[in-house]
Chain A
């Protein structure tokens, strides 16, 4: 019967509904705007250029993770391992830079250039992501379980690699990645901007992007349409792993140190950004730009709460409530759809 109604609706379009969907499209931007105004009313430190860059620099890591997470969630999957992969890859790059590889028994020592260490860090991340995808598609393991295992495995490997101690003192050149400026904009902001631009282009303008939406929307129909579903899924998890590694590089560089317990619970922040951004956890619906808005909202919220001297314990409570609100609003919107 709903079918019949909508058939008729097409012959008599409703201008009122058009207006509604227009407002829905921008509602997270509006929420962000209100948030900013509210915070700037109570803190004069908020609306400054320095603080603006500060916020953007802080969210650049979450943006890397969340973009990868969005792709995964669009295929109706989830990646819980990004926080651990971030830590492992940051540690690997830091370790290679600082210590290289040594086999005292064979008297072998290999040193690494920054580029070499960075590339290996990224490759390890991509490989771990690819492994996630392979396990999920080959053995039909639910993404939740496969990536939960990887969360533990990668964390354990990080501890093994670092022996439980931070790896610090990585040299000024490497620090440029996390703390430098380029053309008046912080380098990590550049990095996240490039990631976002590529991801937006990929999701909206390429075959791969379309396949991601199709698989999340209806995996059976996609397979029947000749889409190599498993291949696309493995690719998506690989990208998510690579972007987690990139986030790891940013964190490590900013702190000039790879912490063995870096990135703990980052997967939750990135899932939160994805969800606040309106991407459906059941797949097929959502966007990168939505996720970026989600990440910015979380970032501004964190920053504002710190500026207002709200206790960290309350910060978590507030963040949780915001996530709930966002999802409830999103649900009621999709009902009207």
Chain B
């Protein structure tokens, strides 16, 4: 059993963890829950040797330990799978998995064959059907996550910490992951599982620990808990996300997509997709990993110029969109899935990020008007309830939820008619999530057409008027949101071809 006693961790005078107690018993899965900023990741970094300067004690196998670095923790049998992937893109899966612990033969040279064989076995166990020689850069995010898990399995660790392992993988991959966790439990390993997805925790976890504001709020058996109880403990108040009540209104047509196909080399990523979005309507698009969800939004927004076939029209007028700036001209906005990679200039301040889409309007006599820019930023900081001391705060210093709000703000500033949202609440905490849900519904009520792409069915159900399902680049089903079950959606999303 790994026990953390009275752990306190400060960052230059600021307390991130305040006397936290935690135990991870062998043979059990412990769920660690809490809002973003509650201290989960800090705690895991203490356990896995990333931080050494904490107060309190770690007790492992009956002895007090203090790891000097993550490698020491790994050698002691404690391993962490980070939320952000730590893989090297231009090395193969095998090379990544064995990085820093390469097998050598009697001559001191790399034993390629043996490493490849071990990797192959691991991939098979994780049901990732690619060659061990595949470069990481050729894998999708979800597959990369699986490789990260394979890396942890190779260590044969006794304590495995998973930080949001399912945030980027498809349901099918989640099933595989769960069966692996089941194996680990049976092999008497301790698993710590951090996730925002409570449903997963109810399936997998034996025990739970709730953190709030750097303190342990509660811990115990999973059986004693309910969804609502968890949420109340995490946020210290009741938050409810209701399923949207059925509406059968007719919406005035805003966007019409006709026969969109996307070719990537010889592969057809999207195949002849047609749908409409009305003014004030929220259209949810569900699909598993690789279904073409993100690509569909990107194709509409002009990011795949040259490879896209098909027609678009806005307000019954045909539009030609070759670049994102054409799309913006046409009244569209795209909030991308990966806000750090595609949404924000992290080193820029909030004001700079927010004004990036509308700088033209902030010019007077060819020079940027600083005051208008600050006013714009202040307006959306207030409107979207962004928690920051000022508009000069750098984007990278904010939490995920607040970062997402900056991205939303920068697009709302363009006064769009159509909002394309790709996984709008990925990796953000429950409180920010419900705020963003409210915002989306409010914007729809103001007459914006909204497309929400999500891999979480409850999210789709909570937001949409109409639900489209993609599988393998094809539109496989369309449901009115008030008359559909989760099972029906999932069934339509599962690829039919083998």
- Contacts A4-B37, A5-B11, A14-B13 given; indicate if A224 touches B347 (C-beta within 8 A): no
Q: In the bound complex, do residue B42 and residue A1 qualify as a contact, i.e. CB atoms below 8 Å apart?
A: yes
Q: In the bound complex, do residue B41 and residue A226 qualify as a contact, i.e. CB atoms below 8 Å apart?
A: no
Q: In the bound complex, do residue A217 and residue B345 qualify as a contact, i.e. CB atoms below 8 Å apart?
A: yes
Q: In the bound complex, do residue A4 and residue B41 qualify as a contact, i.e. CB atoms below 8 Å apart?
A: yes
A207 to B341, CA, bound (A): 22
Per the CB 8 Å criterion, the residue count for chain B at the interface is 49
User: Is B267 part of the contact surface with A, judged by Cβ < 8 Å?
Assistant: no
The total of interchain contacts (Cβ-Cβ below 8 angstroms) comes to: 124
Residue from the list A11, A206, A227, A285 in contact with B356, Cβ < 8 A: A227
* Residue numbers in B under 8 Å from A207 (CB-CB): 359-360, 363, 368
Q: In the bound complex, do residue A214 and residue B352 qualify as a contact, i.e. CB atoms below 8 Å apart?
A: yes
User: Is A223 part of the contact surface with B, judged by Cβ < 8 Å?
Assistant: yes
Scoring A1, A2, A10, A285 by chain B CB atoms within 10 A of each residue's CB, the highest score goes to A1
Q: In the bound complex, do residue B357 and residue A5 qualify as a contact, i.e. CB atoms below 8 Å apart?
A: no
- Near A by CB (< 8 A), chain B positions 311-362 give 323-325, 327-328, 334, 336, 341-348, 352, 355-357, 359-360
User: Is A225 part of the contact surface with B, judged by Cβ < 8 Å?
Assistant: yes
Interface size class of A (residues with CB under 8 A): 35 or more
Nearest chain-A residue to B389 (Cβ)? Answer: A10
* Residue numbers in B under 8 Å from A206 (CB-CB): 363, 366-368
User: Is A7 part of the contact surface with B, judged by Cβ < 8 Å?
Assistant: yes
Q: In the bound complex, do residue A284 and residue B345 qualify as a contact, i.e. CB atoms below 8 Å apart?
A: yes
- Distance in angstroms from A189 CB to nearest chain B CB is 26
Q: In the bound complex, do residue A214 and residue B398 qualify as a contact, i.e. CB atoms below 8 Å apart?
A: no
Q: In the bound complex, do residue B363 and residue A226 qualify as a contact, i.e. CB atoms below 8 Å apart?
A: no
- Contacts A10-B389, A13-B389, A285-B347 given; indicate if A214 touches B356 (C-beta within 8 A): yes
A82 to B109, CA, bound (A): 45
A225 to B324, CA, bound (A): 7
Nearest chain-B residue to A230 (Cβ)? Answer: B323
User: Is A265 part of the contact surface with B, judged by Cβ < 8 Å?
Assistant: no
Q: In the bound complex, do residue B12 and residue A1 qualify as a contact, i.e. CB atoms below 8 Å apart?
A: no
* Residue numbers in B under 8 Å from A222 (CB-CB): 345, 356
* Residue numbers in B under 8 Å from A10 (CB-CB): 387-389, 393, 397
* Residue numbers in A under 8 Å from B51 (CB-CB): 1
- Distance in angstroms from B234 CB to nearest chain A CB is 15
- Contacts A1-B42, A4-B41, A217-B348 given; indicate if A9 touches B324 (C-beta within 8 A): no
A285 to B16, CA, bound (A): 29
User: Is A44 part of the contact surface with B, judged by Cβ < 8 Å?
Assistant: no
User: Is A3 part of the contact surface with B, judged by Cβ < 8 Å?
Assistant: yes
Residue from the list B328, B336, B342, B400 in contact with A226, Cβ < 8 A: B328
- Contacts A10-B393, A226-B328 given; indicate if A5 touches B12 (C-beta within 8 A): yes
- Contacts A206-B366, A222-B356, A226-B357 given; indicate if A1 touches B397 (C-beta within 8 A): no
Q: In the bound complex, do residue B37 and residue A3 qualify as a contact, i.e. CB atoms below 8 Å apart?
A: yes
- Distance in angstroms from A210 CB to nearest chain B CB is 6
- Contacts A214-B348, A218-B346, A225-B357 given; indicate if A5 touches B16 (C-beta within 8 A): yes
C-beta contact mask, A203-217 vs B, less than 8 Å → 1, else 0? 001110011011001
Q: In the bound complex, do residue B399 and residue A4 qualify as a contact, i.e. CB atoms below 8 Å apart?
A: yes
Q: In the bound complex, do residue A210 and residue B352 qualify as a contact, i.e. CB atoms below 8 Å apart?
A: yes
Q: In the bound complex, do residue B37 and residue A7 qualify as a contact, i.e. CB atoms below 8 Å apart?
A: yes
Residue from the list B347, B359, B399 in contact with A3, Cβ < 8 A: B399
- Distance in angstroms from B419 CB to nearest chain A CB is 14
Nearest chain-B residue to A17 (Cβ)? Answer: B12
* Residue numbers in A under 8 Å from B352 (CB-CB): 210, 213-214
Q: In the bound complex, do residue A205 and residue B367 qualify as a contact, i.e. CB atoms below 8 Å apart?
A: yes
A201 to B368, CA, bound (A): 10
Q: In the bound complex, do residue A226 and residue B345 qualify as a contact, i.e. CB atoms below 8 Å apart?
A: no
- Contacts A4-B39, A201-B367 given; indicate if A221 touches B344 (C-beta within 8 A): yes
User: Is A228 part of the contact surface with B, judged by Cβ < 8 Å?
Assistant: yes
Q: In the bound complex, do residue B37 and residue A217 qualify as a contact, i.e. CB atoms below 8 Å apart?
A: no
Nearest chain-B residue to A337 (Cβ)? Answer: B394
- Near A by CB (< 8 A), chain B positions 36-54 give 36-37, 39, 41-42, 45, 51
- Distance in angstroms from A219 CB to nearest chain B CB is 9
Q: In the bound complex, do residue A4 and residue B356 qualify as a contact, i.e. CB atoms below 8 Å apart?
A: no
* Residue numbers in A under 8 Å from B328 (CB-CB): 226
A284 to B346, CA, bound (A): 10
- Near A by CB (< 8 A), chain B positions 361-418 give 363, 366-368, 387-389, 393, 397-400, 410
User: Is A316 part of the contact surface with B, judged by Cβ < 8 Å?
Assistant: no
Nearest chain-A residue to B338 (Cβ)? Answer: A220
- Contacts A9-B11, A206-B366, A210-B368 given; indicate if A220 touches B360 (C-beta within 8 A): no
A210 to B359, CA, bound (A): 9
Q: In the bound complex, do residue A9 and residue B42 qualify as a contact, i.e. CB atoms below 8 Å apart?
A: no
- Distance in angstroms from A92 CB to nearest chain B CB is 32
- Near B by CB (< 8 A), chain A positions 1-48 give 1-14, 17
A218 to B400, CA, bound (A): 17
* Residue numbers in A under 8 Å from B37 (CB-CB): 3-4, 7
* Residue numbers in B under 8 Å from A2 (CB-CB): 11
Nearest chain-B residue to A283 (Cβ)? Answer: B347
User: Is B307 part of the contact surface with A, judged by Cβ < 8 Å?
Assistant: no
User: Is B303 part of the contact surface with A, judged by Cβ < 8 Å?
Assistant: yes
- Contacts A206-B366, A214-B356, A224-B324 given; indicate if A14 touches B344 (C-beta within 8 A): no
Q: In the bound complex, do residue A12 and residue B334 qualify as a contact, i.e. CB atoms below 8 Å apart?
A: no
A211 to B334, CA, bound (A): 19
- Distance in angstroms from B48 CB to nearest chain A CB is 11
Q: In the bound complex, do residue A221 and residue B343 qualify as a contact, i.e. CB atoms below 8 Å apart?
A: yes
Residue from the list B12, B323, B345 in contact with A9, Cβ < 8 A: B12
A11 to B397, CA, bound (A): 13
Nearest chain-B residue to A228 (Cβ)? Answer: B325
* Residue numbers in B under 8 Å from A12 (CB-CB): 13-14
User: Is B240 part of the contact surface with A, judged by Cβ < 8 Å?
Assistant: no
Scoring A2, A13, A224 by chain B CB atoms within 10 A of each residue's CB, the highest score goes to A224
User: Is B15 part of the contact surface with A, judged by Cβ < 8 Å?
Assistant: yes
Q: In the bound complex, do residue A220 and residue B348 qualify as a contact, i.e. CB atoms below 8 Å apart?
A: no
Nearest chain-B residue to A285 (Cβ)? Answer: B347
Q: In the bound complex, do residue A3 and residue B368 qualify as a contact, i.e. CB atoms below 8 Å apart?
A: no
- Near B by CB (< 8 A), chain A positions 209-253 give 210-211, 213-214, 217-218, 220-228
Residue from the list A8, A211, A284 in contact with B14, Cβ < 8 A: A8
Q: In the bound complex, do residue B368 and residue A9 qualify as a contact, i.e. CB atoms below 8 Å apart?
A: no
- Distance in angstroms from A117 CB to nearest chain B CB is 30
Nearest chain-B residue to A280 (Cβ)? Answer: B347
- Contact sample, A vs B, 27 pairs, CB 8 Å cutoff: A1-B16, A1-B42, A3-B398, A4-B11, A4-B399, A5-B11, A7-B37, A7-B387, A9-B11, A10-B388, A14-B12, A14-B13, A206-B368, A207-B359, A213-B345, A213-B352, A214-B345, A214-B348, A217-B346, A220-B342, A221-B342, A222-B356, A224-B336, A224-B342, A225-B356, A227-B356, A228-B323
B-to-A contact residues, CB < 8 Å: 11-16, 36-37, 39, 41-42, 45, 51, 301, 303, 323-325, 327-328, 334, 336, 341-348, 352, 355-357, 359-360, 363, 366-368, 387-389, 393, 397-400, 410
A-to-B contact residues, CB < 8 Å: 1-14, 17, 201, 205-207, 210-211, 213-214, 217-218, 220-228, 284-285
Other 12 A-B pairs with CB < 8 A, given A1-B42, A218-B342, A227-B356: A1-B11, A4-B399, A6-B11, A206-B367, A214-B348, A217-B346, A220-B342, A221-B345, A223-B303, A224-B303, A225-B324, A225-B410
Closest 8 pairs (CB-CB, A-B): A5-B11, A217-B345, A1-B42, A226-B325, A8-B14, A10-B389, A6-B397, A226-B328
